[in-house]
């Protein structure tokens, strides 16, 4: 449902994303892992049609991000890293506005609003203005806005930012519940968060995809080397985009999709 092929983004002479290729299928939750500035957000922005790619192709639910951006947006739920909300609106009014902007009306609008308010636990703040809500609630409001139209594909950029530990655990369970029938890609720089939620991980650094592998395969490598999972991922990142590393990522990607 998500396809990226040799995706590249340049800002003048600066290459932010360089030839990234991967796929996320229906019923998959895939973690997009890398240090700050690795290129994760740039890839998600291209997939969401926020940024046009310099070269390469990408599609979401069969819609090309360049040729059919409206088709992409209709099937996509996107929570950006910096959650843009209308601070002066009350939460209930904001959620209704977002649902109507997504084309929902009548009984379906009411049904979807009830669902996201319950799923994201927004009842305590519905009468508050967005600017009066804590960072954790603002993140939940943004997530609810991304899910209100029941999207087939979900992109989440650092979705647990601002959540306390209990909320993070609840979010993981919530995300797993959304998995059926959807493709979910979420970025993080926290390995534990990705490993606890996903079966598969994409590792990116310097705009280059260094690994596309099952978490279980990385854990097996860690056991065989007598180190922890974090050390394995750090070794991949530190090695950088060497020919050997890219070849290993290609092999891992083929195995991950079987």
Domains and CATH numbers, the chain: 2-83+152-256 (3.40.50.300)
Checking if the pLDDT of 54 tops 50, the result is yes
Per-residue exposure over 17-55, b if at least 16 CB sit within 10 Å of its own CB, e if not? bbbbbbbbeeebbbbbbbeeebbbbbbbbbbbbebebee
Checking if the pLDDT of 68 tops 50, the result is yes
pTM for the predicted model, two decimal places = 0.87
Residue 246: predicted pLDDT: 46
Residue 242: predicted pLDDT: 57
Spatial distance between the Cα atoms of 101 and 254, rounded to a whole number of angstroms? 39
Give the range among 20-24, 57-61, 157-161, 204-208 with minimum mean pLDDT: 157-161
DSSP code for 246: H
Phi, psi of 46 (to 5 degrees): -70, -40
């Amino acid at each position: 449902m998500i396809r990226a092929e040799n995706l590249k983004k340049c800002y003048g002479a600066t290459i932010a994303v360089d030839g990234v290729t991967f796929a996320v299928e229906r019923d998959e939750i895939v973690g997009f892992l890398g240090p700050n500035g690795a290129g994760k957000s740039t890839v998600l922005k291209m997939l969401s049609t926020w940024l046009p790619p310099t070269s390469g192709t990408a599609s979401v639910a069969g819609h090309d991000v360049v040729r059919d951006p409206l088709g992409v947006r209709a099937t996509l739920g996107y929570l950006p890293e910096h959650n843009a909300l209308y601070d002066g609106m009350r939460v209930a009014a904001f959620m209704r506005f977002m649902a109507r902007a997504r084309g929902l009306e009548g009984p379906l609008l009411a049904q979807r609003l009830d669902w996201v308010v319950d799923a994201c636990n927004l009842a305590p703040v519905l009468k508050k203005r967005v600017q009066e809500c804590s960072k954790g609630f603002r993140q939940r409001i943004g997530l609810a806005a991304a899910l209100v139209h029941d999207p087939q594909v979900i992109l989440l950029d650092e979705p647990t930012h601002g959540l306390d530990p209990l909320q993070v655990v609840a979010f993981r369970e919530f995300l797993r519940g959304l998995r059926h029938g959807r493709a979910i890609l979420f970025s993080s720089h926290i390995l534990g968060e990705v490993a606890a939620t996903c079966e598969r991980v994409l590792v990116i650094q310097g705009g280059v995809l260094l690994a596309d592998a099952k978490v279980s395969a990385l854990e097996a490598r860690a056991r065989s080397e007598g180190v922890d999972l974090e050390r394995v991922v750090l070794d991949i990142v530190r090695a950088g985009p060497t020919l050997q590393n890219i070849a290993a990522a290609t092999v891992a990607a083929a195995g991950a999709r079987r």
